[in-house]
C-alpha cells in the first residue's frame, strides 16, 4: 500500500508551494502560455476519466504526475500575473516624476515617531490634466504632522508623490529593504510631506477587518489606561493582541538570542488557549439536541474574530484554520490526520494570499507544528518516568526540541545564530507566557471595573516584567548564543534532507534511510568546503557607507584589516552591520587602525606581504589606493598611478588639479564629504571623462578581485 495515499492534501501542497516559489523568484519574463496550461488540463481530464481502462495499475502514478504538473503550472501562472511590473497599467511605469495618485490603505497603519507607514493600493494616477486607471502596491511614508496619525485601514487618500524603487542594502550585511518589499509584492516607495495628501473617503475597504482593528485599538487603550507602559505594555500587546509596533530592537534581540522569539507573536499556542477557554464556557450547549453544532459554530466564529483582532498574522491564521477544520471534523465524528489538516490550512492561506509563502512567520509557524507532530513522540519516548513533575518538564522539553529541530535550518539562514540554552529558557517561558495570557485575558475582560482592573493589570505588568528580566538575564549568560553560523538556501535544504532521512530512520528503523542521510550530509560538507575555498581565495576592498565618516575594509584569506575613522565602530547599529558582514564573508578582524593620521606618515605599516601603508598610500595586493583629505603640497611634479583615488573629509581640491599628478581607474567619494561637494566633483569628473562613485548616493563601494 502506498503510504502517501492517506495524505492527499500533503501531496497537493508540494506543487502549489513550488509553483508559487518559482513565480516569486524566477525571471518575471518567464510564464507558461495559456495554451500549454489548457493542454495539460485536458490531458489530465482524459487520464482521470479513462485511467482505469487505458492505463495498467503499475502506471497509475502518471495521473499523480499530471496533477503535480497541472497545479505547478497553474500557480506559477497566477504568480506571474501577480507581479505588478507585468500589468499594463502599472503605476510604476509612469516614471519617477511627482504626480497625484489615488489609492486605498490595505494594511494596518504603522505609526512611528516621525512618520506613519502605510501600504497603499494605487487605483488611479493623474497624467497631465486627466486621471487614468492605475494598479500596483506601494509603501508610503507620510510625515507625522497634521492628521496623518488619524489615517486608518480602508481609508482612501490622494497623495502627491515621486515614487522610486526601494533602496538596496547600503552596506554588506545590512538589511535589504528592496528584497524584503519585493517579496511582499511591493516594488515602489515614496515619502509624502505632511501637506501633500488628502483624505477622500473612509470605511471603503473590508468592514469586518476595520471593525476588528478598531476592537484591537480599544483593547490596547484598556491596557494603557490601567497603567501598563514601556516594555511591559509592548510585550503584553504583542502576546495578547499581536501588536508589535512598540517592541524595541534591544528587546527583540533578547528574545531572539534566547530562542523564544515565537512568544512575541500571537501563534497557535495563544489560539489553542482561547479554544480551551471557549470550550469550557460553552460546554453547557453540548447537552442540548443540536447544541454540539451550535457550540462548534460559535467557537469557530470567536476564534476567527480573535484572529482578526490580532491583525491576521500568518501564525494565527494557520492556527485558526487548523482548529476550525479539526473542530468541524470532530463535530461530524471524523478524525482527520493532523498532517492533512496542516496541509489544508496552508493551501487555504496560500490560495488566498500567495505571498505568505515567503513570510518568515508563516514558514516558522508551519515548520514548528510539523516538527511537533512528527518528532514529539520519538523525542518524548527517549525518556520515560513515572514522576508527574519530571514528566511535565520533559514534555515541555520534548516539544521545544521537536520545534527547534524543525525550524533550525530556517533560523540559521535568517538569524545566523543558535540559542544554546533554549531548553532551559522554554521550561520557564512556556508556563509563564501561558499565565500571562490568561491574566491578560482577565485584564481585558475586567478593563472597565475600576478597582479590579487596576489590580489585575498590576499583576499582568509584574509578570511581563519578570518575563523580560528573565529572558534578558538568560541572554547575558556566558555562551548563551552561538553566533556567526551562515547557511545558504541550498545548504538549508541539505540540512532538511539530513533531518528528514534521520527522522524516517528513527521512526521506521530501516537502514536505507540511514544510508540516504549520507547523501545530503556529503553534499553539505562539500558545499562548506567549496564555500570556504572561495572565501579564503577572495580579495575584497570596501568603502563603507557610514554617515560623515570614512571607513575602509581590506579582506583576504578570511581575515580583515579595517582602516579609517574607527569611532563609528562604537555605534551599536553599525557594529551589528559590520559583524553580520563578517559572518557572511566568514572573515575575522585582524588589525584596526585609525587612518588618515598625519602622525603616522613617517611610520610605515606592513602585513604579511599583502598590505602596506605609508602616508597617503595604501597597498593591498596589486591595488594601490590613495586617500586625499587635504590638498596636495605645492611643488609636487611627478605623476602617480593608483587603482583607486579616495577623496575624504571635504578637502578643498579641484579634480582637474589632482588629475594632473594622479592617474586613476576610479575616484571614490566617501561619506565624510558634503553632498554639495560630491555633486560638484561628480559633475567635474564627468566633464573630464573620469569614472567616479559616490558612496553617499549609491551605498558602499565594494570591489572583489
**The domain that contains 183 carries what CATH number?**
2.40.50.140
- Contact by Cβ (8 Å): 670, 648: yes
What average pLDDT does this structure show over 627-631? Answer: 86
Residue 434 lies in a domain: yes
- Are 185 and 275 part of one and the same domain? no
- Domain membership of residue 49 (yes or no) is yes
* CA dihedral sign, ordered 463, 464, 470, 474: positive
A 10 A CB-CB count for 68 gives 18
Domain boundary among 82, 107, 124: 82
pLDDT at 397 (0 to 100) = 84
Q: Specify the CATH number for the domain of residue 624.
A: 3.60.15.10
Which pLDDT tens digit goes with each residue over 662-691?
A: 889 899 999 999 999 999 999 999 988 899
Task: Give tens-digit pLDDT for 255-281.
Answer: 888 877 767 766 666 677 677 777 777
- Taking the C-alpha atoms of residue 612 and residue 632, their distance in angstroms, rounded to an integer, is 21
Q: How is residue 421 written as a grid cell?
A: 540554552
Total domains in the fold of the chain = 5
Which pLDDT belongs to residue 13? 83
360 - beta bridge partners? none
Q: Is residue 494 part of a domain?
A: yes
Q: Are 184 and 168 in the same domain?
A: yes
Cell numbers for 665 = 581607474
Is a pLDDT exceeding 90 seen at residue 15? no
Structure confidence at residue 59 as a pLDDT band (50, 70, 90): low
Do 218 and 197 share a domain, yes or no?
no
Q: Pick the range with the lowest mean pLDDT from 95-104, 218-227, 548-557, 579-588.
A: 579-588
Which domain, by its residues, includes 493? 489-536
Q: Quick one: 316 and 462 in the same domain? A: yes
Count of C-beta atoms within a 10 Å radius of residue 118: 28
Query: In the prediction, which pLDDT does 40 show?
Result: 56
Residue 380 lies in a domain: no
Write the pLDDT tens digit of every residue in 379-397: 888 888 888 888 888 888 8
For the record, the C-alpha cell of 346 comes out as: 496552508
Q: In terms of domains, do 527 and 557 share one? A: no
d(CA 90, CA 85): 6
The b-or-e profile of 28-53 (16+ CB within 10 A means b, else e) is eeebeeeeebeebeeebeebeeebee
Give the pairing type, strands 692-694 and 662-669: parallel
Give me the residues paired with residue 482 across strands: 418
Conformation bin of residue 343: beta by default, left when phi > 0, alpha when psi is -120 to 50:
alpha
- Sheet-wide strand order for 623-628: 605-607, 611-614, 617-620, 623-628, 640-647, 662-669, 692-694
H/E stretch holding 199 reads strand 197-201
Confidence of residue 599 (pLDDT cuts 50, 70, 90): very low
- 418 and 254 in contact (C-beta within 8 Å)? no
Q: Are residue 693 and residue 546 in the same domain, yes or no?
A: yes
Confirm whether 377 is domain-assigned: no
Mean residue pLDDT across the chain: 81
pLDDT at position 637, please?
A: 62
Do 662 and 616 meet the contact criterion of CB atoms below 8 Å apart?
A: no
Given a cut of 70, whether residue 204 has pLDDT beyond it is: no
Are residues 634 and 551 part of one domain? yes
Final residue of a domain: which of 38, 60, 82? 82
What pLDDT score does 693 carry? 95
Distance in Å from the first CA to the final CA of the chain: 57
626 has which bridge partners? Answer: 617, 645
**Same structural domain, 270 and 321:** yes
Is 406 among the domain residues? Answer: no
269 occurs within a structural domain: yes
Whole-model pTM: value is: 0.79
Domain co-membership, 543 together with 532:
no
- At 89, the pLDDT band (50, 70, 90 cuts) reads confident
pLDDT at 371: 83
Q: What is the DSSP letter of 699?
A: -
Query: Which of 35, 50, 82 lies at the terminal end of a domain, its last residue?
Result: 82
Position 280 in a domain: yes
Same domain, residue pair 99 and 51: no
Give 459 or 309, the one with higher predicted confidence: 459
Nearest by Cα to 425 from 479, 381, 467, 363 = 467
What pLDDT is attached to residue 367? Answer: 84
CA angle 374, 377, 383 (to 5 degrees): 145
pLDDT band at 65 (very low <50, low <70, confident <90, very high): confident
The answer to whether residues 547 and 572 belong to one domain is: yes
Is pLDDT larger for residue 12 or for residue 26? 12
* 647 — pLDDT class (breaks 50, 70, 90): very high
Please report which confidence band the pLDDT of residue 400 belongs to, taking 50, 70 and 90 as the band edges.
confident
**Whether residues 136 and 236 fall in one domain:** no
Among 94, 101, 98, which Cα is nearest to 162's?
A: 98
Q: Which residue has the higher pLDDT, 322 or 662?
A: 662
The answer on pLDDT for 616 being more than 90 is: no
Amino acid at each position: 500500500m502506498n503510504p502517501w495515499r492517506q495524505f492527499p492534501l500533503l501531496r497537493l501542497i508540494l506543487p502549489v508551494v513550488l509553483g508559487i516559489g518559482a513565480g516569486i523568484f524566477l525571471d518575471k519574463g518567464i510564464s507558461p502560455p495559456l495554451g500549454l496550461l489548457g493542454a495539460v488540463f485536458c490531458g489530465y481530464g482524459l487520464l482521470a476519466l479513462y485511467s482505469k481502462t487505458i492505463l495498467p495499475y503499475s502506471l497509475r502514478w502518471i495521473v499523480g504526475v499530471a496533477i503535480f504538473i497541472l497545479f505547478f503550472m497553474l500557480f506559477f501562472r497566477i504568480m506571474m500575473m501577480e507581479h505588478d511590473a507585468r500589468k499594463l497599467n502599472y503605476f510604476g511605469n509612469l516614471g519617477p516624476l511627482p504626480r497625484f495618485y489615488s489609492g486605498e490603505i490595505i494594511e494596518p497603519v504603522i505609526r512611528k515617531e516621525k512618520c506613519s507607514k502605510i501600504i497603499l493600493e494605487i487605483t488611479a494616477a493623474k497624467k497631465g490634466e486627466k486621471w487614468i486607471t492605475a494598479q500596483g502596491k506601494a509603501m508610503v511614508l507620510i510625515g507625522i504632522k497634521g492628521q496623518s496619525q488619524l489615517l486608518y485601514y480602508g481609508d482612501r487618500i490622494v497623495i502627491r508623490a515621486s515614487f522610486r524603487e526601494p533602496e538596496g542594502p547600503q552596506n554588506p550585511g545590512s538589511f535589504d529593504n528592496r528584497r524584503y518589499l519585493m517579496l511582499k509584492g511591493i516594488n515602489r516607495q515614496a515619502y509624502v510631506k505632511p501637506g501633500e495628501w488628502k483624505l477622500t473617503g473612509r470605511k471603503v475597504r473590508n468592514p469586518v477587518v476595520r471593525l476588528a482593528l478598531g476592537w484591537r485599538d480599544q483593547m490596547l487603550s484598556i491596557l494603557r489606561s490601567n497603567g501598563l507602559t514601556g516594555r511591559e505594555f509592548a510585550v503584553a500587546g504583542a502576546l495578547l493582541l499581536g501588536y508589535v509596533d512598540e517592541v524595541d530592537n534591544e528587546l527583540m534581540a533578547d528574545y531572539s538570542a534566547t530562542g523564544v522569539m515565537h512568544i512575541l507573536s500571537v501563534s497557535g499556542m495563544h489560539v489553542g488557549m482561547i479554544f480551551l477557554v471557549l470550550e469550557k464556557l460553552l460546554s453547557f450547549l453540548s447537552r442540548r439536541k443540536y447544541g454540539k453544532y451550535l457550540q462548534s459554530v460559535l467557537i469557530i466564529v470567536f476564534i476567527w474574530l480573535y484572529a482578526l483582532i490580532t491583525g491576521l498574522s500568518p501564525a494565527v491564521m494557520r492556527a485558526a484554520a487548523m482548529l476550525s477544520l479539526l473542530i468541524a471534523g470532530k463535530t461530524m465524528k471524523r478524525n482527520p490526520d493532523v498532517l492533512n489538516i496542516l496541509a489544508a490550512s496552508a493551501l487555504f492561506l496560500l490560495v488566498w494570499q500567495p505571498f505568505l509563502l515567503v513570510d518568515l512567520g508563516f514558514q516558522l509557524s508551519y515548520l514548528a507544528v510539523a516538527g511537533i507532530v512528527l518528532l514529539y513522540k520519538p523525542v518524548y519516548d527517549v525518556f520515560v518516568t513515572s514522576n508527574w513533575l519530571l514528566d511535565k518538564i520533559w514534555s515541555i522539553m520534548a516539544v521545544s526540541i521537536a520545534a527547534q529541530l524543525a525550524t533550525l535550518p530556517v533560523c540559521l539562514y535568517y538569524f545566523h545564530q543558535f540559542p544554546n540554552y533554549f531548553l532551559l529558557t522554554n521550561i520557564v517561558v512556556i508556563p509563564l507566557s501561558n499565565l500571562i495570557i490568561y491574566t491578560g485575558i482577565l485584564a481585558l475582560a475586567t478593563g472597565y471595573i475600576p478597582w479590579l482592573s487596576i489590580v489585575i493589570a498590576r499583576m499582568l505588568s509584574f509578570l511581563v516584567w519578570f518575563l523580560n528580566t528573565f529572558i534578558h538575564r538568560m541572554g547575558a549568560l556566558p555562551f548563551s548564543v552561538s553566533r556567526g553560523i551562515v547557511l545558504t538556501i541550498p545548504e538549508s535544504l541539505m540540512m532538511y534532507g539530513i533531518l528528514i532521512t534521520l527522522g524516517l530512520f528513527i521512526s521506521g528503523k530501516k537502514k536505507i534511510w540511514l544510508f540516504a542521510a549520507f547523501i545530503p550530509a556529503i553534499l553539505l560538507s562539500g558545499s562548506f568546503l567549496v564555500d570556504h575555498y572561495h572565501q579564503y581565495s577572495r580579495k575584497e576592498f570596501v568603502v563603507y557607507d557610514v554617515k560623515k565618516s570614512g571607513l575602509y575594509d581590506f579582506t583576504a584569506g578570511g581575515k580583515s584589516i579595517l582602516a579609517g575613522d574607527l569611532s563609528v565602530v562604537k555605534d551599536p547599529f553599525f557594529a551589528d552591520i559590520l559583524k553580520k558582514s563578517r559572518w557572511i564573508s566568514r572573515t575575522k578582524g585582524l588589525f584596526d587602525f585609525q587612518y588618515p593620521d598625519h602622525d603616522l606618515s613617517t611610520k610605515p605599516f606592513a602585513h604579511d606581504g599583502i598590505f602596506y601603508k605609508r602616508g597617503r598610500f595604501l597597498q593591498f595586493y596589486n591595488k594601490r589606493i590613495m586617500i586625499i583629505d587635504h590638498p596636495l603640497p605645492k611643488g609636487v611634479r611627478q605623476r602617480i598611478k593608483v587603482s583607486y583615488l579616495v577623496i575624504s573629509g571635504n578637502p578643498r581640491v579641484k579634480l582637474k588639479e589632482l588629475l594632473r599628478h594622479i592617474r586613476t581607474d576610479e575616484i571614490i567619494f566617501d561619506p565624510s564629504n558634503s553632498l554639495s561637494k560630491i555633486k560638484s566633483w561628480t559633475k567635474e569628473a564627468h566633464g573630464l571623462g573620469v569614472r567616479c562613485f559616490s558612496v553617499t548616493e549609491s551605498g558602499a563601494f565594494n570591489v572583489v578581485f
